[in-house]
Structure 1
């Protein structure tokens, strides 16, 4: 069950980036994926973003805000393909046809 939820959260992050014109900061992404039914911590948002970056699905721009680093995710072409169901990556849910 954990893997199913994780894969759905990652898809929700990719779809949120698409909805935000292909880039958004970690706070916006946390708010957006709540609309997909996932109320998750900022730490988990960042963990998913790092995983998506490792897979080549997003690029993370790291902005230094004093002692804090803000993540801004930018979707890649591969990430767009996965969000649209054109490509498949293990660990990311394949979207339903109506999305």
Structure 2
């Protein structure tokens, strides 16, 4: 920022590391709150300014109506569906268990 502050937003692990490198402390509930977002199928993003984490953003993709049916049709045609993602494992497990269930 113009006033010299450094602002970061990104994956929780990356922001945690950056804050620690700045000499900052990590909020005691950061991991639990991050896991809560992920267990709801969202992607948690941390926001920090200088050496302090200010909060988390719950990034949630919306699934378009009819996607389950489209996946089922593709599977019935013999097409195997796979999911490639950079999301954390908790988010991925929630998505697979609650929506896609790929066999």
Normalization by structure 2: what TM-score?
Answer: 0.25
Normalization by structure 1: what TM-score?
Answer: 0.26
- Whichever of the two has the greater Rg, that structure is 2
